[in-house]
Structure 1
């Protein structure tokens, strides 16, 4: 049974899930992320691969100067499945590259250009293709580690579920979700859903809380301390859902963070989120 908080609708759902409304200064975060990412691209080489006919379907690879691992960390951006671009999120790569870990940012088509199901299948397709062609990359990749923020946190979690991640079972080493959404039905009667065009059946199909996991790889679910109660309960309940299936899952709050600064925290050396992600690849990371 889902808790009543995850079954809210109307104005209550808007108050709980409209993250930009709760953080009016959110454009400042977007501008800073873009600027920091441009600076990183001046220091590290970026290679755009696995393009399709859709200009938003690709993966950006960033390679460290000295490689210490054959594992790749891949980030999936947020934007409520309808905004943002991978160019703004390269800045997250810096602490990984400094540790010698290859890093990638995944691009996917946005709603309403595609349906939510098509969007998720695009993410699935890029990951499967990356895993199949990993030995043809500039450096060999033997394991993928996923992270995502907000909508990207949902997509990262979804790729570990039945019906979505079967072809990736041998490839995924860990999943980190920052402010993820795992039950989508509360969004059905909010403005968020206008471009998504979800209905009850598609929301169920795309909700990790309604699906079983595929592997026992470690999960971490992180929410900003200052986020709404609904975002906290989404991760709380999904964590229980995973652990009930025997899937290891850690859950904590990023101290002092809102829905957007939780991503800055992830890129901050010494943060709990970053340390967790690094240790999944290099267990001896300080």
Structure 2
């Protein structure tokens, strides 16, 4: 198998390279329209250790967190603000953290910083906590179910939704992007949720698009097979880039499942 092709997405999605600019504009438009924001909430010492908090009208019913993807080496919180729309309309606060990107940070470091970001957001919002993450962000939220990750608010987490997640990092060691990620065998074993037995057993819904690359469908299925607490939803007619769009729709099945 050519792992570079297996884990490529944009090349196999119509107009795939246009999506980042589209996401950035949608996020900016949402921030302009939604004024109840707390921007640049720090959770660490580095400038990348910050999150944005989108608040509903009235007291929040709880907290949803969206952790972005980009193979741990691209994007930030300001690219995804529009995805808060669904949960905010349902009365929940939404936190969108940035994190330091590879090669400046190893995946193991990113995992622990995302945990700090979640704890920081949870300190500001009462009630249950719901975690969603896409692609590499799906890996990161899945790691919050693993007991080796220090997470103070773990007992408040009601559901985790890894969307098109990377649950097994070992294949990525065979890709050209590993020149940036620098995953070695020890990190792949320690940071792969599918290989982690010491878990909190938090209810988990793995969501993946039916039109995704076979490698991502396989990653989703493998995570569900490894975790008895997980179930699988394969969304018809969705690919790796549009599978997250229902998060912006307060009436979508994705939002209803996440916040159930």
Which of residues 211, 214, 219 in structure 1 aligns to 2:204?
Answer: 219
Equivalent residues of 1:213, 1:242 under 8 A apart: no
State the Cα deviation string for residues 213-265 of structure 1 (Å, max 9, x = none): 5323221101111112221111112112111xxx2x22111111111010113
Taking only aligned residues, the RMSD between alpha carbons, in angstroms, comes to: 1.8
- Where 1:221 maps in the other structure, the secondary structure is strand
- For residue 128 of structure 1, report the CA deviation from its aligned partner: 3.2
User: Could you say which residue in structure 2 is the equivalent of 1:123?
Assistant: 114
Post-superposition shift, 1:166? 5.3
- In 2 relative to 1, CA 92–77 (structure 1 residues): closer, same or farther, beyond 3 Å? same
Q: TM-score normalised to the size of structure 2?
A: 0.92
2:244 is the alignment partner of 1:258? no
SS at match of 2:207: strand
Q: Which residue of 2 aligns with 1:208?
A: 193
Instruction: State the TM-score, normalized to the length of structure 1.
Output: 0.84
The SS at the match of 1:103 is strand
Larger radius of gyration: 1
Deviations for 1:82-103, whole angstroms, at most 9, x for unmatched residues?
Answer: 0011101010111211121111
After superposition, what is the alpha-carbon deviation per residue over 1:197-228, rounded to whole angstroms, capped at 9, x for unaligned? Answer: 11111111110011025323221101111112
Return the alpha-carbon distance in structure 2 between the equivalents of residues 87 and 189 of structure 1: 31
Distance 1:25 1:91 in 2: 20
Distance 2:151 2:65 in 1: 18
What does residue 37 of structure 1 align with? 27
In structure 1, what is the equivalent of residue 85 of structure 2? 94
Give the whole-Å Cα distance in 2 for the aligned partners of 1:265 and 1:97: 13
> Residue 53 of structure 1 corresponds to which residue in structure 2?
45
- Out of 253, 256, 259, the position equivalent to 1:272 is 253
Contact 1:61 1:103 in 2 (8 A): yes
User: Conserved in 1, the CA contact under 8 Å of 2:85 and 2:247?
Assistant: no
Structure 2: 5+ residue stretches without partners = none
Q: Which of 105, 113, 123 in structure 1 is aligned with 2:96?
A: 105
Using a 3 Å threshold, how does the CA distance of structure 1 residues 20 and 191 change in structure 2: closer, same or farther? farther
